[in-house]
Copies of this chain bind each other. A is one copy, B any other.
Amino acid sequence: MKTDTVFKRAFNDALDLVASLPERESLPSESALSTQLGVSRTTVRKVLAELQERGVVSGVGRHWIVQAQAAPADRFPETETVPTAAQVERRFMEWMLRDNARPGTVINELELARQFGVATTGIREFLNRFQSFGLIEKRPNTGWVFNGFTTEFALELFEIREMFELRSARTFVVLPQSSPLWRQLETLRDEHEDLLREIDRRYHDFSELDSRFHSLINAASPNRFIEGFYDIITVIFHYHYQWNKQDERQRNEVAIREHLTYLDALLRRDADAVEAACRAHLKSARETLLRSTSEPGPAGGKA
């Protein structure tokens, strides 16, 4: 049976929305709420019914008004608002990156399903999507093998990343003056400087800036395969840094400075400097990642 995470998240969001409204204020229409909450009208109605049930709003038909502010206890816990697919992804990445699963480990759908508390269908779906990340392989009728988050993996990943990034950076440099991307690049440069100024307090904000920077570079000449590859990088880095916080502030400060060099070279349209800065930045990113890979080797235990 489907989970009701969509409803629960929408409900929590609706509580926030109600909190921003004065008492006795009337609510937006169902279709307006549907757009605001990003769910269908069907779900909006379910949310509204629940809000009424709990006395947060009252009314009927097209006259809903805010009745009272909800108690914090009314919110659904965060865990119940995340869809199964996302939970499986998270748990799997955790198993892989944090528990340092050994290369060669065979993945057992049933066991993972039990371990993650979901049905095998959910595991299967995830593994099928995840296959394109190059970390697992399918043996038909037999199962899956984890190839390991190895040095080799990181090197292959960065080889492609460098090819793609250099290619995009080169096309960026020759973009006509009229391109709106130049302005976006300048804004991004400012954001980097803002962040650097407050680095001690805001260093975790870097990841988001990083991924916006690299997608802006790619926007110079969009290619769906490059974008798809960046999705892989984004997911891997996201989870990787989630469990690998040493030196985060220091690392991010270095990366911001590298970005600034890179950004300045782009803004000067200096192709050679762009290439050098890009290479240098990727080199240090690669080294960071390499520090936490496992060595390729014979199969370890089971999943």
Contacts and interface: CB of A to CB of B under 8 A. Distances in A.
Judged by DSSP, the binding face of A is: helix
How many copies the complex holds: the figure is: 2
A255 interface: no
A131 B167 CA distance: 24
Contacts of A121: 121
Contacts of A156: 223-225
Nearest to A221: B159
B134 A131 contact: no
Contacts of A124: 125
Interface string A120-154: 01001100110110100000110000000000010
Give the interface centre of A6, A134, A225 by most chain B CB atoms within 10 Å: A225
A160 B228 CA distance: 12
A10 to B, nearest CB: 12
A157 to B, nearest CB: 7
Residue among A131, A132, A141 with max Cβ neighbours from chain B (10 Å):
A132
A226 interface: yes
Given A121-B121, A132-B228, A156-B224, 6 more contacts: A83-B140, A125-B125, A128-B129, A131-B132, A132-B132, A160-B223
Interface of A: 6, 83, 121, 124-125, 128-129, 131-132, 134, 140-141, 153, 156-157, 159-160, 163, 167, 223-226, 228-229
28 contacts: A6-B141, A83-B140, A121-B121, A124-B125, A125-B125, A125-B128, A128-B128, A128-B129, A129-B129, A129-B131, A129-B132, A131-B132, A132-B132, A134-B224, A134-B225, A134-B228, A153-B224, A156-B223, A156-B224, A156-B225, A157-B225, A159-B223, A160-B223, A160-B225, A160-B226, A163-B163, A163-B167, A225-B229
